Amino acid sequence: MQVRTSLPMEREPCVLALGNFDGVHLGHRRLLEQGLSQAMSLGVNLDVLIFEPHPLKVLFPERGIKLLSTNQERLQYLEEIGVHTVYLLPFTRETAKTSPEQFVEKILLPLGVIHVVVGFNYSFGDQGRGNSELIQVLGQKHGFGVSVLQAQMLDGQVISSSSIRKALLQGDIRLATALLGRPPRLRGTVIHGEERGRQIGYPTANILTPDDYLIPKRGVYAVRAYLDGKSVSGMMNIGMKPTFHDLYDTVVEVHFLDFDGDLYGKEITVLIEERLRDERKFKGVDELLTQLNKDRIKAQVFLNNDRTN
C-alpha cells in the first residue's frame, strides 16, 4: 500500500473512500468493502483520503479528542482490507475554509476520482457545509459517481467512532469489541516505572501511550499481546495506584502471565479482551496481593475459555 502526503502529479483513476477512519471499525469496513466492490467493477484501485491531524483537533482543540488508533495502526488496518493508496493530507485552519466546490475541484478531481464512497454523515468544506447530498450533486456536475453508506447498526446501536469511545470510557469492552469487529487495542512503549509490582511478585510492563490515544476506564482487564512472535496472556491495570498514592497520574501497566523477558524500550500492542473489575484502594500490600491472585485466576479462566470458543 502506498501512503502519499500530497496530491499526485498526474490523475490516477480511482474509487475514493472519504472519512477519518479512526479505529477502522465495523462501519468503516463495510464502507471500504463497498468501495472495493465498486473499484473491482470499474477496473481501478480503491484509494482513501484522510486529513491529518483529525479535523476536530484543529477546529475544536478545547475538546481534547482522544483517538482509537495510532496512525500506524490505522494504515495497517487499511492495508489489510485492500486499499491501494492512502492520501494523508495535512489539515489546517486554511484547509477548513475550503468551500465544498473547491474541495471537489482542487482535491478530489486531481486525485482522479471516478467514484466516491462516503458515510451518510460525512461532511466537508467550510463549516461542514458539504454533506452526502451535496457531494452527489457535485458528482453529477463533474462526472463521478457517488455511493452513500447509510448508518450501520448493531443490536440497535449505531456503529461509530464516538460510540466506541463512549463504550471504552465506560469500561464496556464487550460493546466496544462488537462495534470494532475485534478487541480494542492499546499501543505504546514500555518504560521504567516504580518497579513496585516486581517487589511484590507481580512485575509489570509500564506502557507509555501517545498523548491523544484514548485510555479506557480505570480498572483491571484481561489482555493478550504478541511478544517475540508468541501470544501471551496478561492482566492490565489502568489506574492511579490508590493503595500507594493519594494522587498519581493514570498509568497503564501489564503483568504477563507466561513471559519473562526484557521489554524496556520496545513498542508493544495489547489486545483488551475483558474488564475484570474496578480500580480499588486496598488496606495494604497483603490485601492487594490477595486480590491480584484472584484477578490472575479470573484472567486465566476467561482467556483460556475465550481461546477455545
| Domains observed in the chain | 2-158 (3.40.50.620), 184-308 (2.40.30.30)
Q: What is the DSSP letter of 130?
A: B
pLDDT at 267: 92
d(CA 201, CA 206): 15
Instruction: Give the per-residue pLDDT at 307.
Output: 61
pLDDT for 246 equals 58
Q: Are 216 and 238 in contact (CB under 8 A)?
A: yes
Positive/negative CA dihedral, 36, 120, 217, 50 = positive
Q: Using one digit for the tens of pLDDT, what is the confidence trace for 111-127?
A: 999 999 999 999 988 87
C-alpha cell at 34: 463497498
Distance CA 156, CA 5 (A): 38
Supply the pLDDT for residue 242: 60
Helix axis angle for 173-180 and 26-42, nearest 10°, is 0
Which region, left, alpha or beta, applies to residue 294 given φ > 0 means left and ψ of -120 to 50 means alpha? alpha
Listed as ranges, residues in the chain with pLDDT below 70 are 194-197, 199, 241-248, 306-309
Q: What is d(CA 68, CA 277) in angstroms, rounded to the nearest whole number? A: 22
> Residue 115's pLDDT is what?
98
* pLDDT number for residue 126: 86
Q: What is the pLDDT of residue 228?
A: 82
Helix, strand or coil, per DSSP, at residue 131: coil
* pTM: predicted TM-score of the whole model, two decimal places: 0.90
13-70 pLDDT, tens digit per residue, is 999 999 999 999 999 999 999 999 999 999 999 999 999 999 989 988 898 899 999 9
At residue 129, the pLDDT reads 87
Q: Which residues are CB-neighbours of 47 under 8 A, at least 6 positions away?
A: 14, 15, 16, 17, 83, 84, 85, 86, 87, 111
Query: Which ranges constitute the DSSP H helices of the chain?
Result: 26-42, 55-59, 71-81, 93-96, 100-103, 132-142, 161-169, 173-180, 196-199, 285-308
